[in-house]
Amino acid sequence: MANVTAQDVKALRDRTGAGMMDCKNALVEAEGDQEKALEIIQKKGLAKAAKKAGAIAAEGVIHAYIHAGSRIGVLVEVNCQTDFVARNEEFKAFVDEIGLQIASSSPLYVRETEIPEEDVSKQTNIFKGQLEEEEKQTGKKRPEQAVAKIIEGKLAKWKKEVCLEDQELVTREDKTTVAKASENLTVKLGEKIAVRRFTRYELGEGIEVQKKDLAADVAETLAKGS
C-alpha cells in the first residue's frame, strides 16, 4: 500500500473540497496517484465546486470562435483565477467548446440571474397571448390558476433554452450542461472556472434584404427608357 501523507490528503482536499477521509481513502485506492484519486473523488460525486464559488476569477481568455462557413462568429470571455490555468490545454478546449455551443444554440444570456425583468415580462405576455389565441380557436376557457401554472412552466422552459449555463452541450452525449461542465473543470483544475459574457454574430443579421418584384422592375426600367 502506498504511503499517503497528510500533505497529499490536504492537496487533494484543496483541489476537490471533499472530506479529509474521502480524500485519504481515494489516495489509498489510487496508490498515492493524485490524478487517479481525483477521478475516484469525481466518480463518487464527492467533489465540491461550491468551495470555489466565492473565489474571484479575474484571469482567463477572450476567445474568438468562427463557425464553419464563416457565417457565425462568437466572442466569449471565460475566467479562471490564474494565468497558469488560462494556458492549460483542458481549459482552452473548454473555452472552444463554449464558443461552439454559443454559435450553435444561440443563447441570449449567460445565466438566469442576468435575465432583465422586462424580458421576462415580454415573454410572459407572449405566452399569455398564445394561450388566449388557443382559447379562441378551441372555445374552451381555462381557469386563471391553470393559466398561471401553464405560463410558469413555459417560462421555466424558456429560461433553460436561452441561458447558456442551462443548455446541454452539443459536443457531449451525456446531457452535461454548461454549468455542470464548468463545475467539473473547476474541481479538476482547482480554480473557479466561469463564463462571464459573450457576443454572437451572424452574417446578415439585422439587415433587411430588399426584395424586388421582377416584373415591376422591368416595367420601371422600360418606363425610364421611354
- Report pLDDT digits (tens) over 65-98: 998 889 999 999 999 999 999 999 999 999 999 9
In a domain, 91, yes or no: yes
Residues 73 and 94 both lie in one domain:
yes
Residues 96 and 174 both lie in one domain:
yes
In a domain, 43, yes or no: yes
Q: Is the pLDDT of residue 102 over 90?
A: yes
Mean pLDDT lowest for which of 105-114, 129-138, 170-179? 129-138
Residues 155 and 178 both lie in one domain:
no
- Whether this model's pTM surpasses 0.75: no
What is the torsional sign of CA 209, 213, 218, 223?
negative
* Confidence at 209, pLDDT banded by 50, 70, 90: low
What CATH number has the domain bearing residue 43? 1.10.8.10
Burial of 215 (0-12, 13-18, 19+ CB in 10 A): exposed
In a domain, 136, yes or no: yes
CA dihedral 182, 184, 188, 193 (to 10 degrees): 20
Residue 215: all three cell numbers together: 416584373
Residues 107 and 126 both lie in one domain:
no
Q: Measure the CA–CA gap between 42 and 15, rounded to whole angstroms.
A: 11
Provide the residue range defining the domain that includes 18: 6-47
Q: Is the pLDDT of residue 18 over 60?
A: yes
Which of 66, 175, 162 is CA-nearest to residue 106? Answer: 162
Q: Measure the CA–CA gap between 222 and 226, rounded to whole angstroms.
A: 6
In a domain, 190, yes or no: yes
The structural domain count of the chain equals 3
